[in-house]
Chain A
Amino acid sequence: MSIPPSHGERRRGRTTMRRAAEGVVLAFIYVCGWLAIIILAAIALFLILNSVRALNEAGLGSMLSGTAWYPTSNPGKFGMLPLILGSLLVTAVALVVSVPLGVAAAVFISEFSGTGVKDIMKSIIEFMAAVPSVVYGLIGVAVVIPLVKDVFALNSGMTALAGGIVLGVMSLPTVISISEDALHAVPFDLRQGSAALGNTRWQTTYKVTIPAASSGIFAAVMLGLGRAIGETMAVLMLTGNAAIMPTSVLESVRTMTGTIAAEMGEVVQGGLHYSVLFAVGLVLFVITFAINLAADLVLEGQRKRWRR
């Protein structure tokens, strides 16, 4: 009686060619896997390399503490403080708008609404996140600037307030979706335990769920902050871009992002001003990196907490 061969032997499995092809694909997979680190390192590297001239000639300390930003005067003055404070002021306004509204909406979506309402809310948030920032800027120009001008009887509505309001709306999707995730992640047992003690839905929410999700909500605020501080187009179109030390939200301010966007088109490549703009980018990169790192660590901690 003879034995039929199995296909494995008949085909001799994988040929050398196929193995080589698989090796190539595998190499690609590994390279792509590591690409995120490579790109992030490259971003840092290019920012630093291009900032070298600014750091040498203008000096980091005097740039960070300088209060005068006159890049085109001779010699140029590169005090970034007005820009940094401008960014912070606009961001602060944005947070005042987005945090209460966003967190409350997240509580409603997570705790008080059924599947249908949830789906609708999620689509709406998805839509808000999808609207390009330049369009928010345009709406700000058409609606918010005149409004601010009229309400506060100003000469111009292009103010930190106008930029901040629009920025707040723009960071709503981030704040809502991350807070909602955090609330959603609180284990069902925990809420049930509280409900079993005779607590109402809201008592459970503010005594148990919100404290349990607090670190996630904090991370949401951080990420909303990161998003607001890094936003460019809307603030560029709305804040009036006066590079002066801000004293009130009803004045025109100039942000770091807006400065880069507005001035990069007019500088000499490789010149000092060009280099200083990269230094502004570097400062921005460091700030957002720190914010995101912190938010990430907080979220990671929360994930670990609910794992078992």
Chain B
Amino acid sequence: MVTALLLEREGAAPLGAPHMHVREAAEVATRDEASSTIRGSFSLTGVSVAYGRDQVIEGVDMEIPPRSVTALIGPSGCGKSTLLRCLNRMNDELGNVTVGGRITLDGVDIMGKAMDPVELRMRVGQVFQRPNPFPMSIYDNVAYGPRTQGIRRKAELDALVEESLKGSALWDEVKKSLKKHAFELSGGQQQRLCIARALATKPEVILMDEPASALDPISTQQIEDTIAKLKDSVTIVIVTHNMQQAARISDQTAFMLRESLEAPAHLIEIGDTKKMFTNPDDPRTESYITGRFG
């Protein structure tokens, strides 16, 4: 179902190529030559976050390889969402947040002044815990990101909307009613709409903060299926409280823990998901996974 998306991702030219302006096509070409590696890899070194004076995360080192699924697990309040928000600089919007350390996306520092958070967020999408479609039609929801990027032509938008909805496995359910108000969808459908909305900007990375925690088991299953397909084309970082879910869908798992209320959270362990769930290095990881605390 994601073939269209994959086609464009893997093919030499995007689907919209015939309509593209010459200058854009040229830009695309240089871009293609310049980047020979697959993109969408994060590298975090010594990342720390404080809300006002309250240091909540300290010294996180983490490598996130491209086109993989990384699960962030840990007890409530250990700073998973906070860490996630560092990756698209959504913490900037909260006001009194200071982020230290170094975060690079494909080798480029994203925390410096040189990086415009607005442009960063076009490359790093986010899906939230509670489905939060805009109060507009399904079509307009998905087209929101591309329109923000200045895409106006209907054919191009139509193609993107279809592609993105296919990418989030919602197309078949809504293709006849794209003009319907997004609030008329069920919770699970709304969440897949939000995924489609994030896909439409063609991000390299998608951050998901407990995307299925507000959903029923069937919708959760659909979201998980979607994630499994998406990782062929984007990097996914997902926060989840559901251990089985982490085990099922992720390639690597990172475990964070705040050992006392006063102390900031640390990254206890990060590694291959299979290993983390069968034979973790740290005893704290093991007790968390087996449910002894948190």
Contact = CB atoms under 8 A, between A and B. Distances in A.
Interface of A: 1-11, 13-14
Contacts of A7: 122, 145-146, 149, 151, 201-202
Given A8-B123, A8-B201, A14-B118, A3 B31 contact: yes
Interface string B84-126: 0000000000000000000000000000000010110011000
A8 B202 CA distance: 8
A11 B151 CA distance: 9
Contacts of B280: none
12 contacts: A3-B31, A3-B38, A4-B10, A5-B14, A6-B204, A8-B201, A9-B31, A9-B123, A10-B27, A11-B150, A13-B149, A14-B119
B260 interface: no
A11 B24 CA distance: 8
A1 B67 CA distance: 14
A176 to B, nearest CB: 33
Interface residue range, chain B = 20 to 34
A11 B119 CA distance: 10
B28 interface: yes
A19 to B, nearest CB: 10
A8 B119 contact: yes
A21 to B, nearest CB: 13
Contacts of B145: 7
Interface in B11-30: 11-12, 14, 24, 27-28
Nearest to B14: A4
Given A9-B27, A10-B24, A14-B118, 5 more contacts: A2-B32, A4-B9, A7-B145, A11-B149, A11-B151
Nearest to B27: A10
A13 B202 contact: no
Interface string B179-208: 000000000000000000000011110000
A116 B31 CA distance: 65
Contact of B202 (A1, A2, A6, A14): A6
Nearest to A7: B149
A151 to B, nearest CB: 58
Nearest to A18: B150
Given A1-B10, A3-B35, A4-B9, A10 B28 contact: yes
A185 B118 CA distance: 40
A83 to B, nearest CB: 51
Nearest to B119: A13
Given A11-B150, A13-B149, A4 B116 contact: no
Given A8-B122, A14-B118, A2 B27 contact: no
A264 to B, nearest CB: 49
Interface string B129-142: 00000000000000
A1 B9 CA distance: 10
Interface in B35-69: 35, 38-39
Contacts of B123: 6, 8-9
Contacts of B286: none
A13 B118 contact: yes
B37 to A, nearest CB: 8
A13 B201 CA distance: 12
A73 B101 CA distance: 81
B28 A5 contact: yes
Q: Determine which residue in B8, B123, B150, B203 has the highest number of CB atoms from chain A within 10 A of its CB, and name it.
A: B150
Contacts of B119: 8, 13-14
B38 to A, nearest CB: 7
B203 A6 contact: yes
Contacts of A4: 8-11, 14, 28, 202
Given A6-B204, A8-B201, A13 B27 contact: no
Contacts of B116: 13-14
Contacts of B202: 4-8
Nearest to A15: B150
Closest CB pairs A-B (n = 8): A8-B122, A6-B202, A2-B32, A13-B119, A7-B149, A11-B149, A11-B150, A5-B31
A13 B31 contact: no
A9 to B, nearest CB: 7
A12 B149 CA distance: 8
Contacts of A11: 149-151
A13 B122 contact: yes
Contacts of A14: 116, 118-119
Contacts of A1: 10
B139 to A, nearest CB: 17
Contacts of A6: 122-123, 201-204
Nearest to A10: B24
